[in-house]
Amino acid sequence: MLARTADPIVAIATASGRGSVGIVRVSGRELAPLIDALCGRALKPREASYLPFRDADGSPIDRGLALHFPAPHSFTGEDVFELQAHGGTVVLQLLLARCLAAAAETDPATGRPRLAGLRVAEPGEFSQRAFLNGKIDLAQAEAIADLIDASTEAAARSASRSLSGAFSDEIHTLLEALVRLRMLVEATLDFPDEEIDFLQEADAAGQLVALQSQLAAVQQRARQGALLREGIKVVIAGQPNAGKSSLLNALAGAELAIVSAVAGTTRDVVSQTIQIQGVPLHVVDTAGLRDSVDEVEQIGIARAWSQIEGADAVLFLHDLTRSAAPAYAQADAEIAGLLASRLPASVPVIDVWSKLDALPATQPPPDSGVSLSARTGAGIETLRRRLLEVAGWQAVPEGVYLARARHVQALSRVEEHIALATAHLAAHAQLLDLLAEELRLAQNALNEITGEFGADDLLGVIFSRFCIGK
C-alpha cells in the first residue's frame, strides 16, 4: 500500500554509524515555521547557510549547513529542508527528534503547529514522492536503489545511465511509435467507409517492422542490464575430491573453501560472488555427489542437489586423473543422467576437466568442455569466457543501462503483442479490432516499466526495498 503522501516526512538520509557528515531531510509543504525553529531565521532558496541547529531552549545541538529547496525545484517536488551535521549517531538522532518536536510546537505567528503531521519517512518514501510528483519515472526511481546497491563499476555506470533517463527515453520512443499506430488503427475503425485506406497509406506494416527492430535493440540492452544487476548463479557439482573447492578458490582468487585430499571434505554450501567483465557471478561450491551412509554428508548432498536445481548454469567437474577408472566413469555417467533429468533444458551444463597439471604429457585432454588446473591457473580464463557466453553477455558497455527482471519480462510481453498485431494486420480489415487490442496491450506493458500507470501494490513493493531517508 502506498504511504500517506499528504503527510510531511523526515528521516536521517545517510547510512547508520559514524561519519564525517550526516544529513537529516524533511519534505512537505510550508516548511518555513519549522526552518525558523531549527535555524532561527529564514534560509535563501538553494543556498547553503552555516549556522547552529537550535534545541527547544535555543542552545545549539550542532553546527552545520542548512539548505532549503522550495517546491517544485527539489528532489521530491515538495519543499525540502536539509540539515547537514556531523555524522555521529547521537547527534543525528537528536536532530531528528528535534524536528519532530518542533513540528508539534505552536507557531507564535499562526497559533497552529509549525508542521502538523510530521512523521518519520518509510523506506524509499522520498524517492516515491519524486515519482508521484513527476520528477522521475518508475524506471529512474528503481535506478536510484540500483546505483546504491551496485556491486561492480559496470553496474554503477549502467545504473547511472538509467537514472539519467537513457532507458526511459528508449521506452518513450517505443511508446510514441505505438501511439501513432494506434491512432491509425482507430481512425480506420472510426471511418470504415472512407475510400482512403489509412493503414496502407501510412505504411502501418512498415511501421510495425520498424517497431519490432527498435524493440529488439532495447530488449538486448535490457537483458545485458539485467545481467549486470542480477548476475547468474553458477553451481559447481561433481564427485568428491574432483577439485570443486579448488576451482571456487581459483575463480574467486581467495582461499574461501577448505581444500583437502580427503574425499567429502566439503559438507555444506560455500558461495562467493565474483565479477567477470563487470558481470556478477554467484559461484556455489557443493558437497561431492555420491552414495553415503554418513548422515551429515547425506544432508550436504541433499543441499547440493537443491542448489543445483536452482542454478542458472552448472559446472560439472571431472577429475582427469581418475577419468579412465571404470568405477569413476560410471559414477560420472550416473550424475550426468541425474543432471539431465532434474534440470530444465535451458540450464547449461558445462563439462570441466580438472587437475590438468597432473595429466601425463602423453595423454591429451578431452576435446569437449574446458580443461583446467586450479593449481596453476591454466584454463581458468577460458572458463571465465565460457561462463560469460552461457550467461548471454555481450560487451556493449556504452549502450547498457541497468534493468530489472520485471523490465525484461514486460518487454517480452510487448514483443508477443506486437507479433500478434502483425498477424492481425496481415488479415486486413476482418481483424482490425484485434489489432487495436494487441497494440493497446503492448502499450500497457511498456507503461508498466516507466510507471505511467500501474497497481499501487507494485509501487509499494518497489519503494519498500529502499533504505530509510532515500
Residues making up the annotated binding site are: 25, 82, 135, 241-246, 260-266, 285-288, 373-375, 470
38: closest CA among 10, 60, 13, 16? Answer: 60
- What is the distance between the alpha carbons of residues 143 and 141, in angstroms, rounded to a whole number? 5
Instruction: Name the strand (E) or helix (H) holding 28.
Output: strand 19-28
C-alpha cell, 272: 562467493
- What is the distance between the alpha carbons of residues 234 and 214, in angstroms, rounded to a whole number? 32
The binding site for K(+) comprises 241, 260, 262, 265
Cell 525540502, residue located:
80
The binding site for Mg(2+) comprises 245, 266
Q: How, if at all, do strands 313-319 and 349-354 pair?
A: parallel
131: closest CA among 464, 463, 420, 374? Answer: 463
C-alpha cell, 277: 567483465
The binding site for GTP comprises 241-246, 260-266, 285-288, 373-375
Residue 187: helix, strand or coil by DSSP?
helix
The binding site for (6S)-5-formyl-5,6,7,8-tetrahydrofolate comprises 25, 82, 135, 470
Quick check: 114 and 37 in contact, CB under 8 A?
Answer: yes
Q: Is 188 exposed, middle or buried (0-12, 13-18, 19+ CB in 10 A)?
A: buried
Q: Cβ neighbours of residue 113 under 8 Å, at least 6 residues apart?
A: 103, 104, 105, 106, 107
